[in-house]
Amino acid sequence: MHNLLDDYAISNALRETSARLKLFLGLWAILLSVSSTTPIAPLFLAITMSLITVMLAKIPGRIYSRLLLVPLSFALLSAGVVAFMHGSGQTLFSLQLFGLNLAIREEGANLAVLLIARTFGGMCSLYFIALTTPMIEIFAVLKTLHIPQSVIELSMMIYRYIFVFLDQAAMIHSAQMMRLGDAGTKNSLNSFAMLCSVLFLRSWEQGERLIVAMDSRCYDGKLDLMEPAKGAKPLAILAVAAYLAAATAIAVLTRGVILL
């Protein structure tokens, strides 16, 4: 029905690896990417993280590249703006547009490349987490990190019902399409507004049914059953440590390098 990131997270080849280790790897890589002062480390992370996701976690390459198109459009747009707006140093490129002089200078170009690199480094690392670690395991890790119980319980139920409402939204949407709810902008907007209001009412009703369902199973304020987070294998820990050390070293060693 839906081809969601969640489906891959459940079935990928790294499913059995410790969630804590995967989270640690992903978060460290994100921090490294966004804090790096040169594009080299983020680009290294983007490439290696993609390889890990596609080769080790066996996420289909086509799906993965389609996912990367999402940040690509944002990154290119903002990089373009940054490149033209910033700058000192030598002019690399200039053009006259309606009497305006638009130029890309060295600093602007560097910044734009850095922006793209950081975006991709960060997104590839985030996708690594999203595609290899199911939410349920993230909840288990959150619990070991002593996040308040009620926050976790609430997120678990929200997570569960996202899929129920997704199905309902899809059904309402098809029902609208069948009766030409998308004919023209005005109709589309109207349909969308109706979808939202109906979905709101349904979630309200669902909430009431949820209380009945919980009450009839003797709800006593407890939903604390978590599968224990699995420990990481020593070899995996070593590999992740070596990889992150290498990436950090690259970031530190190349911090003074200026490309242009």
Partner 1 sequence: MTIILETRSLSYSYGDGTKALKDVSISLEAGKKVALVGPNGAGKSTLMLMFNGILRPREGEVLFRGRSMSYDAASLRSIRRAVGMVFQNSDDQLFAPTVYQDVAFGPTNLGYAAEKVKRYAGFALQYVGLLGYERRPPHHLSGGEKKRVAIAGILAMEPEVIILDEPTSNLDPASSEEIMEMLDELNLGGKTLIISTHDVDLAYRWADEVILMKDGGVVRRGTGQEVFGDAELIRDARLKLPLVVDLYQELAGRSIVRGAKPPRNILELCDLLQPKAETRAGVWGKIYICNVDEIDGEEIRAMLDKIPVDFKGAMGTSAKVMAEKCGISIDFTYGVIDKCILKALIGKSSIIMTSGGMVEHTLQRIKDYGLESGTKIEAIGLLQ
Residue ranges in contact with partner 1 by CB under 8 A: 6-7, 10, 134-136, 139, 156-157, 159-161, 163-164, 167, 206, 209-210, 212-227
- Torsions phi, psi for 62 (to 5 deg): -65, -45
Question: Which CB, 17 or 33, lies closer to partner 1?
Answer: 17
Question: Which CB, 182 or 205, lies closer to partner 1?
Answer: 205
Least spacing, CB of residue 150 vs partner 1, in Å: 15
Asked if 116 and 76 touch (Cβ cutoff 8 Å), the reply is yes
- Whole-angstrom Cα distance, residue 97 to residue 241? 51
Q: What one-character-per-residue DSSP string does 204-252 give?
A: HHHHHHHHHHHHTTT--S-----PPPPPPPHHHHHHHHHHHHHHHHHHH
Least spacing, CB of residue 230 vs partner 1, in Å: 11
Least spacing, CB of residue 48 vs partner 1, in Å: 29
Instruction: Indicate the Cα dihedral angle 144, 145, 151, 154, nearest 10°.
Output: -40
Question: Which CB, 10 or 77, lies closer to partner 1?
Answer: 10
Question: Which CB, 56 or 223, lies closer to partner 1?
Answer: 223
The two three-digit tokens of residue 51, written as one number: 């390889």
Least spacing, CB of residue 223 vs partner 1, in Å: 7
- Whole-angstrom Cα distance, residue 113 to residue 38? 9
Least spacing, CB of residue 242 vs partner 1, in Å: 30
Question: Which CB, 172 or 251, lies closer to partner 1?
Answer: 172
